[in-house]
Amino acid sequence: MMASSPAFLADSRRFLFFTGKGGVGKTSLACASAVALARVGKSVLLVSTDPASNVAQVFGQVVGHEITPITGVAGLAAIEIDPQAAAAAYREKIIGPVRGLLPDAEIAAITEQLSGSCTTEVASFNEFTDLLADDSLTGAYDHIVFDTAPTGHTIRLLQLPGAWTSFLDAGQGDASCLGPMAGLDKARRTYAAALARLADPALTRLVLVARAQHSALTEAARTAGELSRVGISRQHLVLNALLPDPGPTGDPLAVAIHQREAACLADLPTALNLLPRTLIHMRPAAILGVGALKDLLTETAPRACASPVLPPMPRSLPGMDTLVDELVAADHGLILCMGKGGVGKSTIAAAIAVALAECGKQVHLSTTDPAARLDDVLAGTADAHLEVSRIDPQAATTAYREKVLATKGAALDDAGRARLREDLLSPCTEEVAVFREFSHLVSQARRQFVVIDTAPTGHTLLLLDATGSYHRDIVRNLGATKGVATPLMRLQDPALTKVVLVTLPEATPVQEASDLQDDLARAGITPWGWVVNQSLAATSTTDPLLAARAGAEAPHLDRVRELAARLAVVPLLASPPTGVTGLHSVIPQPV
């Protein structure tokens, strides 16, 4: 039963945080909640730290880096914190004083250490710490609603010691994300106060937003557990954009989606099943304007209210078979499927691997996904040409920490080793550790196809190049004419490596993939192609609600066309794409 008055707004706390993966509807729900609180006479400040923030678009007015009253909603003001601008200012604060004093190579290394997602998260948190902890700035507001909350990753960073130990100086240490911590210039008691407020259930409620999809719910459960471990226990689950029951004579795709969502609701992961939850129905169009925001949190209108006029579909959409036809022309190569969590990387990687194996190519399919989604996707698929493996991030990280302690830590005193040990708890340590395992797979791509689900980001590659010295030392010692090829050089070789970015046909996932493409460009890597997954525009649905949503994908597909050298679009499927039959629905077989 849909709630007409969402439970997460009942007895609302002063701080309300909305978090979840890109494209689940955090911004719409945050804006709607802020409007709902203001309409009952509360004074509300809406704060967005979303890198693809569209708060201004939602309200139809300019909202920038200054607190701005929202027209037509008494008592509501908003501010958008630009994460990239915050990160740039943060970097300059650290690098500016030493520019001209240190060699260019040192400046470049420091800049790259401060160019990853860790820096962006910490810089954004640095920006809104005042809004969270300083009552002299926000005391006039009854409620502060945050669109995109700090993740457990960010909070663990801020709980680290903050000492920039000497073992990292001049590239002597190993890569971690402690770089961002070097510039934390606020008193640590200020951060402690902010984190204490986040963890105080009397002050803060965190709203975890997800879709009723297996992969999205697995991701949400992981986030819920991570936040609980850092003390944020007052959580509420919102399952957004649920498809209303189309009835037994409804469009087959709509019936299948409704049944699949119902099955997900009946089998929620334990971490989510324990949370209070609210269900929100899908709307036929983007949530724009105060009127739409008012309606979002009320009982869903009857399906008959959805427009029966089907919008024109986008122009011809290429399928995955076009990409595979080009890949199969070679007899070896490295294929990296990259993208944010929940976009279907495992499915796309498995479909490509199975298609190549069925063409008689020798294929090694591997994953670094901690959820081991490949097992579910392959569902026992067997092929003599297909080898499947998994890099265990936890085991790789443990081995990496032990090695660093045994080598870099050997020359440190007890206090230094203690700091090093805690520094190695940094979340980015896992990314670096996994790369060590990943690099062993890269060399196999010279003899066969290697398809990897989840690959290192451009930031990780450059951080390793800057501080690990492996790439530079080999090139310097052996010389460029010796024919040596390091892992980074192989990843930069378009004849060997094909990076495939996977996204969804929605604003935030496309923006996140665009940011990832820019990140890879810094490492000299250009994505070979893009895959837009779970597209309604690529289906033949006649359901009015789904057809309206399909039409809304057009601007996002056009944006991907501008960014992508090659594009494939995978339709939203009626049946889960698992096993050989399911994967064949992702990549159509030749007739």
Residues 26 and 211: their CA atoms lie apart, in Å, by 11
Backbone φ and ψ for 42, nearest 5 degrees, come out as -85, 150
Query: Which residue from 171, 144, 154, 145 is spatially nearest to 119, judged by alpha carbons?
Result: 154
Among residues 28, 111, 138, 367, the one annotated as catalytic is 28
Catalytic status, residue 25:
yes
28 is catalytic: yes
| Distance linking the first and last C-alpha atoms of the chain | 45
| Same-domain check for residues 290 and 325 | no
- Mean of pLDDT over the chain: 81
290-334 pLDDT, tens digit each: 888 988 887 654 444 444 444 454 557 899 999 999 999 999 999
Under the banding of pLDDT at 50, 70 and 90, the label for residue 378 is confident
**Tens digit of each residue's pLDDT (9 = 90 or more) over 346-359:** 899 999 999 999 99
Q: Is 171 a catalytic residue?
A: no
Instruction: Please give the pLDDT value at position 186.
Output: 52
Instruction: Name the catalytic one among 22, 25, 341, 468.
Output: 25
Of 326, 365, 366, 344, nearest to 498 by C-alpha is 326
Taking residues 409-414, what's their average pLDDT?
85
Is residue 360 packed enough to be buried (19+ CB in 10 Å), middle (13-18) or exposed (0-12)? exposed
Choose the catalytic residue: 12, 19, 27, 223: 27
Structure tokens at 393: 């991030």
Domain harbouring 185, CATH code: 3.40.50.300
Residues 290 and 347 in one domain: no
Nearest to 196 by CA among 130, 127, 132: 132
pLDDT digits (tens, 9 = 90+) for 92-135: 888 888 888 888 877 877 777 777 666 777 777 777 777 787 78
Name the pLDDT band for 426 (thresholds 50, 70, 90): low
User: pLDDT value at position 175?
Assistant: 43
The pLDDT of residue 169 is 39
Q: For residue 368, what pLDDT band results from cuts at 50, 70 and 90? A: confident
Handedness of CA 134, 142, 78, 4 (dihedral sign): positive
What H or E segment, with its residue span, contains residue 209? strand 204-210
Distance CA 237, CA 18 (A): 10
Is residue 543 included in any domain, yes or no? yes
Q: What are 452's two structure tokens?
A: 């990897």
Note whether 291 and 342 are same-domain residues. Answer: no
In the predicted model, is pLDDT for residue 483 greater than 70?
A: no
Q: In terms of domains, do 92 and 41 share one?
A: yes
502 confidence band (pLDDT: 50, 70, 90):
very high
Between CA 415 and CA 275 the distance in angstroms is 41
CB atoms within 10 A of CB 471: 18
At residue 317, the pLDDT reads 86
Question: What DSSP string runs through 525-549?
Answer: ----EEEEEEESTTS----HHHHHH
Catalytic residue among 366, 508, 514, 541: 508
Q: What is the pLDDT of residue 149?
A: 63
Point out the catalytic residue in the list 12, 19, 26, 147: 26
Are 292 and 377 found together in one domain?
no
Residues 19-45 have a mean pLDDT of: 91
Q: Is residue 403 in some structural domain?
A: no
Whether 304 maps to a domain, the answer reads no
Question: From residue 574, how far is each of 205, 375, 535, 578 by CA, in Å?
Answer: 36, 20, 12, 12
**Per-residue pLDDT for 160 more than 60?**
no
| Average confidence (pLDDT) over 153-178 | 45
| pLDDT confidence of residue 485 | 62
Whether residue 236 is contained in a domain is answered as no
| 27 is a catalytic site residue | yes
Residue where a domain terminates, one of 296, 329, 345: 296
pLDDT in tens, 510-558: 988 998 899 888 888 999 999 999 999 999 899 999 999 999 899 999 9
- Which pLDDT score is estimated for 118? 67
The pLDDT of residue 37 is above 60: yes
Question: What pLDDT sits at residue 6?
Answer: 84
Alpha-carbon distance of 114 to 177, in angstroms, equals 8
Two structure tokens written together for 403: 């090695």
Q: Check whether residue 180 and residue 329 sit in a common domain.
A: no
Q: In the annotation, is 26 catalytic?
A: yes
**467 pLDDT higher than 60:** no
Asked whether 308 and 542 are in contact (CB, 8 A), the reply is no
Q: Would you give the distance in Å from CA 448 to the centre of its chain?
A: 30
In what side-by-side order are the strands of the sheet with 363-367? 386-390, 363-367, 449-453, 333-338, 497-503, 529-535, 567-571
Q: Give the DSSP H or E segment for 570.
A: strand 567-571
Report helix, strand or coil for 153.
Answer: helix
Q: Contacts by 394-400 with C-beta closer than 8 Å and gap 24+? A: 394/370, 396/430, 396/433, 396/434, 396/436, 396/437, 397/429, 397/430, 397/433, 397/434, 399/433, 400/424, 400/429, 400/432, 400/433, 400/436
Question: E-strand spans in 312-418?
Answer: 333-338, 363-367, 386-390
What is the C-alpha separation between 234 and 207, in angstroms, rounded? Answer: 9
Question: Can you tell me the mean pLDDT for 194-209?
Answer: 88
Mean pLDDT score, 425-447: 79
| Predicted pLDDT at 352 | 96
Residue of 44, 202, 190 whose CA lies nearest to 130: 190
529 as an active site residue: the answer is no
- Kindly report the backbone phi and psi dihedral angles of residue 84, in degrees, each rounded to the nearest multiple of 5, phi listed first: -70, -40
In this structure, the answer to whether residues 366 and 493 fall within a common structural domain is yes
249 located within any domain: no
pLDDT-derived band at 236 (thresholds 50, 70, 90) equals very high
| Neighbour-count burial of 4, counting CB atoms closer than 10 A to its CB (0-12 exposed, 13-18 middle, 19+ buried) | exposed
3-state secondary structure of 275: coil
Does the pLDDT value for residue 67 go beyond 50? yes
pLDDT tier, 489 (very low <50, low <70, confident <90, very high otherwise) = confident
pLDDT score of 458 more than 70: no
- To the question of pTM greater than 0.85 for the whole model, the response is no
Q: Is the pLDDT of residue 211 over 60?
A: yes
Instruction: Tell me: pLDDT of 568 over 80.
Output: yes
Q: Which domain holds residue 107?
A: 15-209+286-296
Tell which of 261, 296, 331 closes a domain: 296
Starting at the edge strand that comes first in sequence, how are the strands of the sheet with 277-281 ordered? 68-69, 76-80, 44-48, 143-147, 15-19, 204-210, 235-242, 277-281
Shared domain check, 202 and 343: no
In a domain, 204, yes or no: yes
- Tell me the average pLDDT across 433-462: 81
Instruction: Classify residue 280: in a domain, yes or no.
Output: no
Predicted pLDDT of residue 335: 96
- Identify which has the larger pLDDT, 473 or 543: 543
Claim to verify: residue 201 and residue 82 sit in the same structural domain: yes
Which pLDDT band holds residue 280 (cuts at 50, 70, 90)?
A: very high
Does pLDDT of 274 surpass 60?
yes
- Considering 19, 33, 49, 50, which one is annotated as catalytic? 50
Q: What is the structure's pLDDT at 139?
A: 80
In a shared domain, residues 342 and 489: yes
Same domain, 367 and 290: no
Give the residue, 471 or 63, on which the prediction is more confident.
63
Residue among 22, 23, 173, 409 flagged as catalytic: 23
The answer to whether residue 343 sits within a structural domain is: yes
The domain total for the chain is: 2
Specify the pLDDT at position 451: 96
- CA–CA dist 27, 16 (Å, integer): 13
Return the pLDDT at 156: 58
Are residue 205 and residue 338 in the same domain, yes or no? no
The Cα–Cα gap between 381 and 375 comes to 9
Residue 460 known to be catalytic: no
Q: In the numeric block, which tokens belong to residue 175?
A: 């890569």
